[in-house]
Structure 1
């Protein structure tokens, strides 16, 4: 990973012709855009984004973007579908206003969990990617995609930045006895992320196995539906297709020692917190005396703040890729790490035509 403090060096040195818009009509969602513009030493572009009485989205750009590099910052609000439409309409407005380039800055890519085929379903994240490209997007900056393969849904350059340097720094600076910690994966599917954190902090790792799995981990390719009616003579009796043995979840076990240790659960998204609460209870039973949850994207929908407040979790640390000020008021356990620095640096480098490789130093294929 890269040392975070170095990024501040030439932050304010950008060429002319840079315009930054925030595409969100919700005031709390514009906070990240203001932080980025402040770090770059520019003013946010003048634009009006609002909803008509009939709920249609209206975008009015109030300054010239002809021949300029436009960066559209969009954070996902509670109404995710409105968020997408605001982004698409603003990108298209910039395209028809003859902007030289249009870069979307979506720290959290919406519908990223719907990136695999389920039976009779669809790969919605590919649809969103196609819509953004069709609207006129020429580049995308995002962070910690739920699946890195989503980058392949776009026919434009995609920079998938990482929040882990900021979360690692938080662990080192805000958890005084972190050397007595163990990094925990709440399911085998998140073991690679946990291993990445553990190796960089020189800590041990534990994996919880046997908890209820996410729906997306079940049969996801849509090719397992048997024919409803057997056609006579269609399949020879000696050529009967063998059926896959159904999965049986084993009893909950913790692979690794957490007794008398600080447990730090890491993941990419915290939305429905039931699985995190269950994992915290399991770790408490196994002897962990303090439990942290760390993730990049804190969606924290529905009653998540209340469940966290009532749980064995001591602290939830997320970044500001998604606004969650209301959730923080409801639950003091929720802490925020600011990632506007790396987004600002990415914008500066793209605008100035500089290499982005510095932002991906020490990041392996599995990170």
Structure 2
């Protein structure tokens, strides 16, 4: 292969060497050092001008340092006039971080500056949470242009209306002002009704009052109800501003125990968007990875992303290493991995089972919740094959294995793509009911192999090597989604 250079980061140099050996090219030299203050220094050991550069760096070990090293290597190759820079990231970092701007049990309220608190009223309809909305009389809302049908209920805000003698302001306190205003509105509505009878052929267009930014869902009718007021475009000499009712003295009773104590959560960082922007800003033109925890993560990039699958390798291992696999049951340890496991079960014509984790709020109404793991499917007297994309602390996979054994499973395999195994995960695997843990070498597994005899490793270097070859030659990589290269 010509005009190609493959560099290895500090996270997994053995995988980069295996890829180069598979492609029949040498690994390009590079020097990686750290200054005394832990800053990273990268030196590219050969010319990459007008070359296709591939940098292999996995998201494991010291994730932040390794990711910064990857960014610096990408920028260095881009500065050295590389034609194209591709980041090969077998285990993508930060792929499990939440991307929603708020937690699932609540969205944070916007904070109002103290000096503007008086400009905001509180809207409460008995069903929705208290939401700050601007008052009309402070000039924040655009006043309606014509009459709003209905009678005025007592409210704490002043009302401005126009009559033939000129604009007048009514105080909210005296009841005679409210009665007078209702009388004026009724007279005008009556006059408009007479005009409508005389002009039956005139089509009137109904419009709704709107906010300056185009929103109209927070406006209230004169009777204080939460509905949009209809305004006629016919000539009228009355203009009434919408009024916001005051909140009740006490909030309504929660719909279920613990609902009132759930509360709102702080905003969470959108790390997925940040990681994508950092890679693109550094100069990456292409991303190659495997088994993203959330496939929609690819949408954060404006450059091509090839998300390779480990499923062909797992299917091959099951066929070759597990006796009578067609009698076994493929099990997903959680609902999120159900689709991943069902694909393998369908390819091998095997039974499928699912472990569902259900969370319930305690009867006392406290925020503490209890979780129950429930097995959906029959595993009694059968071999079970757990399928998961990542194992970090191994809590999920070991609890799932215990549940399977309690339900009569005879033997349990666990097939995992990215086995990070941080903390005391290896000790937990040793004590678990899992008979064999099969993992890929997307992250270094030498320490795990020496620490636990249950660990078995399958090689993903052929898949990445073939992907690099096809991309470099302008060929399609869809072949790798269903087949294993030989």
Partner of 1:161: 308
1:55 aligned partner = 38
**2:5 is aligned with 1:19:** yes
Shift of 1:247: 11
Q: Could you tell me which of 230, 252, 271 is aligned with 1:124?
A: 271
Inter-partner Cα distance in structure 2 for 1:312 and 1:289: 10
Alignment of 1:1-367 (within 5 A): 14=1, 16-24=2-10, 29-117=12-100, 118-119=102-103, 120-210=267-357, 251-361=372-482
CA contact (8 A) 1:109 1:142 kept: yes
Secondary structure of residue in 2 paired with 1:38: helix
Q: In structure 2, do the counterparts of structure 1 residues 273 and 64 end up closer, same or farther at CA, with 3 Å as the change threshold?
A: same
Write the distance in 2 (CA, Å) between the matches of 1:32 and 1:116. 30
Change in CA separation of 1:253 and 1:357 when aligned onto 2, cut-off 3 Å: closer
What are the superposed Cα offsets for residues 109-141 of structure 1, whole Å, 9 maximum, x if unpaired? Answer: 100001422441112122111000000000010
Larger mean Cα displacement after TM superposition, 300-309 or 185-194? 185-194
C-alpha distance in structure 2 between counterparts of 1:102 and 1:145, whole Å: 21
User: Highest CA radius of gyration, 1 or 2?
Assistant: 2
Q: 1:210 aligns to what SS in structure 2?
A: strand
Residue 227 of structure 1: aligned partner: none
The Cα offsets for residues 62-110 of structure 1, whole Å up to 9 and x where unpaired, read as 1100000000011233100011011000000000000000001001110
CA, structure 1 residues 212+327, in 2 after alignment: closer, same or farther (shift >3 Å)? farther
State whether residues 359 and 372 of structure 2, in contact with CA within 8 Å, keep that contact through their aligned partners in structure 1. no
Output one character per residue of 1:169-203: Cα deviation in whole Å (capped at 9) or x when no partner: 11111111212210111122221112111111110
What's the TM-score, normalizing by structure 1?
Answer: 0.82
SS at match of 2:313: helix
Cα distance in 2 between the residues matched to 1:72 and 1:134: 16
- Give 1 or 2: higher helix fraction: 1
> Contact 2:359–2:369 (CA<8 Å) still a contact in 1?
no
1: CA distance between counterparts of 2:386 and 2:49?
47
| Alpha-carbon separation, structure 1, partners of 2:95 and 2:419 | 14
- When residues 115 and 248 of structure 1 are mapped into structure 2, their CA distance, relative to the original with a 3 A threshold, is closer
Q: Which residue of 2 aligns with 1:222?
A: none
Corresponding position of 2:121: none
Provide the C-alpha distance between the structure 1 equivalents of 2:32 and 2:335, rounded to a whole number of angstroms: 42
Cα pair 1:212 1:249 within 8 Å, conserved: yes
Shift of 1:253: 2.4
Partner of 1:238: none
> How many matched pairs?
313
Q: CA deviation at 1:50?
A: 2.1
| Unaligned segments of structure 1, at least 5 residues | 1-13, 214-245, 363-367
For residues 359 and 382 of structure 2, the distance between their equivalents in structure 1, rounded to whole angstroms, comes to 25
- Pick closer, same or farther for the CA change 1:270–1:212 going to 2, 3 Å: farther
Deviation of 1:33 (Å)? 0.1
